[in-house]
């Protein structure tokens, strides 16, 4: 095999091994919008391919692609055409094991209602299980900001979810 074929084979193996999880990360970061999540993931994988030799040698592929997913989502939100809203409200999001359909829909709606930074912190910190330091590094913010955003987000989620059950 030539060097390029080896590079392509290693990249393809990485994508095959991690694509499902990365799609879910992009979906969560993008607030439950599959079409935008697909666009963001494709952007992240294209940028990963360009930097593959350096990142693969350092073993930082996953961290890099997560960071690009977050940055690509930010870039997409800043574009004027992103102010349009699709007419696909209420389509059924992917199921997560352990929660019923109603609980899943309630949790997803609550996460979608969070401000973008709080949503990103919740996804990275609590869904992916990154540490405070790792989350801060991924988002390029201070650790204290991760803690405060996480605290506010969890309080908002608790209030929304418990408020929906009472009401």
Calculate the CA dihedral of residues 14, 143, 38, 94 and round it to 10 degrees.
Answer: 100
Farthest CA pair distance, the chain: 64
Residue-wise pLDDT tens digits, 139-158: 999 999 999 999 999 999 88
Q: Find where tokens 């040698």 sit.
A: 57
Q: Output the pLDDT for position 146.
A: 94
CA 36, CA 30: separation in Å to the nearest integer? 7
Tokens coding 16: 């095959």
Q: Is the pLDDT of residue 104 over 80?
A: no
At 12, is the pLDDT very low, low, confident or very high (cuts 50, 70, 90)?
very high
> Other CB atoms closer than 10 Å to residue 69's CB: what's the count?
29
pLDDT for position 167: 44
Evaluate whether 148 touches 132 at the Cβ level (below 8 Å).
Answer: no
Count Cα neighbours of 53 within 13 Å in the Cβ-side half-sphere: 5
HSE-CB for 63 with a 13 A CA cutoff: 15
pLDDT at 161: 80
Contact 77, 84 (CB under 8 A): no
Tokens for 96, please give them. Answer: 């997560």
Express each pLDDT in 77-95 by its tens digit: 776 555 555 555 555 555 4
- Provide the token pair at 90: 């209420």
Q: Measure the N-to-C terminal CA separation of the chain; round to a whole number of Å.
A: 64
Mean pLDDT score, 17-37: 90
How many other CB atoms sit within 10 Å of the CB of residue 71? 17
pLDDT band at 22 (very low <50, low <70, confident <90, very high): very high
Q: What is the mean pLDDT of the chain?
A: 84
Neighbours of 17 (CB within 10 A): 10
Backbone angles phi, psi at 39, to 5 degrees: -60, -45
> Per residue in 39-72, pLDDT tens?
999 999 999 999 998 988 888 899 999 999 998 8
């Amino acid at each position: 095999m030539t060097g390029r074929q080896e590079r392509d084979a290693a990249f393809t193996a990485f994508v095959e091994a991690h694509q499902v999880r990365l799609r879910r990360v992009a979906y969560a970061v993008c607030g439950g919008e599959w079409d935008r999540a697909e666009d963001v993931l494709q952007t992240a994988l294209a940028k990963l391919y360009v930097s593959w030799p350096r990142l693969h040698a350092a073993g930082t592929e996953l961290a890099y692609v997560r960071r690009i997913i977050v940055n690509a989502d930010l870039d997409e939100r800043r574009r004027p055409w992103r102010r349009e809203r699709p007419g696909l409200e209420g389509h059924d999001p992917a199921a997560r094991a352990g929660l019923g359909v109603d609980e899943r829909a309630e949790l997803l709606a609550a996460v979608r209602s969070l401000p973008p930074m709080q949503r990103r912190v919740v996804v990275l910190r609590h869904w992916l299980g990154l540490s405070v330091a790792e989350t801060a590094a991924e988002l390029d913010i201070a650790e204290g900001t991760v803690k405060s955003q996480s605290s506010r987000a969890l309080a908002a989620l608790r209030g929304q979810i418990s408020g929906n059950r009472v009401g």
